[in-house]
Structure formats: C-alpha cells, structure tokens
Amino acid sequence: MNTALKPFLCLINGQFIKTSATIDVVNPATGKVITSVPDIGKDELDQAVTAAQNAFPAWSQRTIAERKELLNQLIEKIKNHSDELIELLTLELGRPLFFSSWEVKALTEQYGPQLLAQDYTDETSRDTSIGKVTKQYVPLGVVCAISAWNAPVMLSYLKAFAALVTGNTIVLKPSPFTPLAVLRIAELSKGIIPDGVLNVITGGDNLGPLMTSHTGFRKITFTGSTPTGKSIMKSAAATLSHLTLELGGNDAGIVLPDAEPEKIAEELFWRMFVLSGQGCITLKRLYVHESLYPSLTKLIAEYAAKVKMGDGFAEDSQLGPVQNILQYHRIQEIWKNIQASNAKVLFQGTAPNQGYFFPVTILDNPADDESFTQQEIFGPIRSIFSYKDIDEAVQRANNSPYGLGASVWGNDEATLQEVANRLNAGTVWINQHMEVAGDVAFGGIKDSGVGVEFGIEGLRAFCDIKIIAEKISTT
C-alpha cells in the first residue's frame, strides 16, 4: 500500500475544513484505526447549506451542456487518480483491489458517463385544453445526499452527478465508516466544480438526522437501510422535501428445471457473495428446482471451497471482510440464531482470524419463516432452497417485505418471461443478476425504496415540473 495518508478534510464552499472533533476510520481487514476525518456539527452544516444556496443561482443558470462539460472534466480527473482511489477504497473496505478498481471504473467509465450522456428537454404541446403548454424540468435547489458504506464512491458521486447535471447544488455525506475516497474526490473537484456547488461533509451519528431535518434542503436522496429510510421519511415531513430512498433488499433468484447447473454455478456464487455479500442487490435467497438441487448445490459448494478470503491488499484475495464492527456483530448474532435453529449448513469456508472477517456460509434448504431467511443479511451468509413447482417458487420468492431485485435462470424463453413478469421487484433479471446501468432507471418497491435513481426518470427526480400555459388567441 503506497498511499501516504495525509489529513482528510471536508469541502465547504471551496474551503477545506477540519474540526477539533474527529471520527476514527478503521481498516476492517485489520481492525486497526488508519486515520480520522472531521466530525461536522450544526454550525458547519449550516455553512455548507448556505454555501450551496448561494451557489445555486449561477449554477442552475448554466446550460446543461456546460454542467456536463465540468462534470466530465471531474470524471477525467478521477480517472487520472484511479490508483490512489483504489488503494483508499481497499484500505477503508478491506476488500480486494480488484473490486475497488471495479468501483472506480464503474463510476468513471460506465454508470457516470451513461448518466451524463442522457438528455431531457422541455416539452411543448400546442393544442391542450388550456392552450399552448410548455412543460419545463427545473432544478429543485439544494440537495441533501446521504450514502451507505458498501460502494461509497459510486453511491455518493452518482447522486452528486445527477443532482449537479440537473442544475442543483449539493451537500453530500458519505458513511462515517468509508469517508476517505469520497473526501479525496471532493478535493479533486476543487478548481473544476465552482465553490459551493459540491460540498462534502463527514460526521458521526448526529450528522445524518441534522441534515434530514434541515430546512435548507429541497430534496433528500438516500441510500442505506430500510429502518433509516423510514426515519428519514418522517423527518422529511417537516420540510416537505422531495425524497428518493434506495433501501435494503432480500433478492430472490429462481432456477428453473431446464437450467444447466454447470453453466451457472460459478456466476450464481458470485452474485451471492460479491463484496462478501454486502451488496443491496446481491442474490440473497436462491430457489432451485428439486431436480437440480443436488447437482447445483454441489457445484456451488465446490466452487466456494476454491475462493480465497483475505486482506484486500494480498494478491490472491478474492473476498474481503465485513466492513465495520457493528455489521460484524450483526452477522455474528445471525450466525448464533442459525446455530440455535435446525438449519443445515451446506458449506462454510475459512476466514482470517483477524479484523472483521466472517467465512462464506451457505445454508442448505432452511425454513422460509426463520428470521435469518426473512431479513436482509448484509454479509457472507446465504440460503439455497429447494422447490417443487414454479408457482410455489414464485410465491415464496415474492413473500418478502422487500422488492429490490430478483432473477430467473433457465432456457425456455416463454417461461423465463412469464416468471419475470410475476416476480415483484424494482428490477427483474433474466439469466443474470445485479446488472445496472446509468441510463436505466433503478429502484426498489415495497420496503426497498421510494423513487428511482439513474435513467431519465432518475434525472427528472431532481427537478420540479413547471408548466407554462399560454392562452391561444382565437381572433
């Protein structure tokens, strides 16, 4: 690891801010504190909101093309600093360098450019019943963005890109567990994005609620857990903020009787365990037809046995630790519940005896009504279930308070489409899982969220609709 850690500061109104109070940042692969970041309080938050409000008129009056140009310059600069950002991400997440590299590339070469390449324009209809009507998409004002720790750079800056390209200004807060790469990108933005347009702040447990109850915001865009999303919705009632909530998931996948186990076993493993299972749209419940259950579970377990878990800086590591101590304790609690139940373990791997590592664990056809099959497990424990007929599988897959993603795997096109149509989720994949794009709307239904990010719909979610209705003279 070559990164010489210098102080990480917040960005408010183009100024780098430090505070006397700080929060520690821990490398979860070792459990050791690596540095600290500012713990922003109410006064600095007020300064950030005021800066964003003051920057709004000039930024919103630029053309979309001008804003895109500056954001593309920032993307180029991020790309030029990829190596450093990849190391920071692996340091704060413990995960393999390969996955950190994937995240930086996803932001700079895939989702970011896809998001920014989209265009939306005013729409005019001449012959409405109230005359000539022009529908304009106008920026809201100042956006509050709060993100989770599992993909900090992508979750934070895709929000920022969408808010900024549509003419809003922003105050962005990453998770206190993973602030480093996000703060470094804020530093890189200096000199490209005008002062006050992008403000990035870090803080402990008090800062999120202070932000979501602040009267200076017109929109809150949030990625995180369902309970936090619900409490944000409550605090947004006081300010009538627009809301986009990207929340938890317990994604189901259905393997149809005509699927070919040897073709899909490896991919299914990775869709379950990528990021050590810490992905909102990782596959969390896999329903396999009873005719394939023995062969497919055998193949998945055999593959799992070859996957190496370890410190992300070790070249042979393929999976990293649980990202933080709170989550690690949650996973251990879940494991205790599993052990106390009758659930059988199909496979359990090994993990380093340090930091917050927990081994890959696959449950063998547990009961549907156990707490550990119903709740979202944000860590490396997954369940595979056997089913008899497709109706039963669809019913069990849909029997969840969540509705983020789902998938169906097989060969017969008509059956794949039919099952996809019956699965209740924001995105249903066919013969794939977790595929997302900056130009395709993404969001959850039921307890998995409100509204969408990405796509034209995701951009318009940062706008008010303004109607100009002109009377048509009949003389």
Encoded one letter per residue, x for contact with ligand NAD by CB under 6 A and - for no contact, window 4-43 reads ----------------------------------------
Identify the bridge partners of residue 219 per DSSP, sorted by sequence position.
143, 242
User: Which residue, 175 or 348, has its beta carbon nearer to ligand NAD?
Assistant: 175
CB 453 → ligand NAD: shortest distance, Å? 7
Identify the DSSP state of 175.
-
- Give the x-and-dash track for 325-364 against ligand NAD (CB under 6 A): ----------------------------------------
The answer to whether residue 246 is catalytic is yes
* CA–CA distances in Å: residue 209 to residues 173, 214, 215: 11, 8, 12
Nearer to ligand NAD, 149 or 217 (CB): 149
**Number of residues engaging ligand NAD in binding (CB under 6 A):** 28
- DSSP label of 453: B
Quote the least distance from Cβ 117 to ligand NAD, whole Å. Answer: 21
What is the DSSP code string of 98-166?
HHHHHHHHIIIIIIHHHHHT-----EEEEEETTEEEEEEEEE-SEEEEE--SSSHHHHHHHHHHHHHHT
What is the x/- site pattern for ligand NAD, positions 154-183, by CB under 6 A?
-x-----------------x-xx-------
* Exposure string over 401-418, b if 16+ CB within 10 A, otherwise e: ebbbbbbbbbeeeeebee
Q: Which of residues 256-315 bind ligand NAD (CB under 6 A)?
A: 280
Contact pick of 320, 380, 444, 458 for ligand NAD (by CB under 6 A)? 444
* Closest C-alpha among 152, 146, 197, 159 to residue 11: 197
Binding mask 219-258 for ligand NAD (x = CB under 6 A): ----xxx--x--xx-------------xxxx---------
Residues 189-208 contacting ligand NAD, CB under 6 A: 208
Strand partners, 136: 466
Structure letter (DSSP) for residue 314: S
Q: Which string of x and - marks every residue 377-416 that binds ligand NAD (by CB under 6 A)?
A: -x-------------------------x------------
212 binds ligand NAD (CB under 6 A): yes
- Which residue is catalytic, options 10, 280, 453, 463? 280
Q: Which is nearer to ligand NAD, 281 or 319 (CB)?
A: 281
Chain length of the chain: 475
Residue 170 or 299 with smaller CB distance to ligand NAD:
170
In whole angstroms, the minimum distance from the beta carbon of 274 to ligand NAD comes to: 13
| From 44, 87, 103, 246, the catalytic residue | 246
d(CA 149, CA 409): 30
Q: H helices within 245-400, ranges in order?
A: 261-273, 293-306, 325-340, 371-374, 390-398
CB of 242 to ligand NAD, least distance (A): 16
* Residue whose CB is less far from ligand NAD, 236 or 264: 236
CB of 146 vs ligand NAD, minimal distance in Å: 5
How far apart are the C-alpha atoms of 469 and 7, rounded to whole Å? Answer: 54
The per-residue b/e assignment along 168-193, b for 16 or more CB within 10 angstroms, e otherwise, is bbbbbbbbbbbbbbbbbbbbbbeebb
Q: Is the backbone of residue 240 left (phi > 0), alpha (psi -120 to 50) or beta? A: left
> Which residues belong to the active site?
246, 280
- List contacts with ligand NAD (CB under 6 A): 146-150, 155, 173, 175-176, 208-209, 212, 223-225, 228, 231-232, 246-249, 280, 376, 378, 404, 444, 449
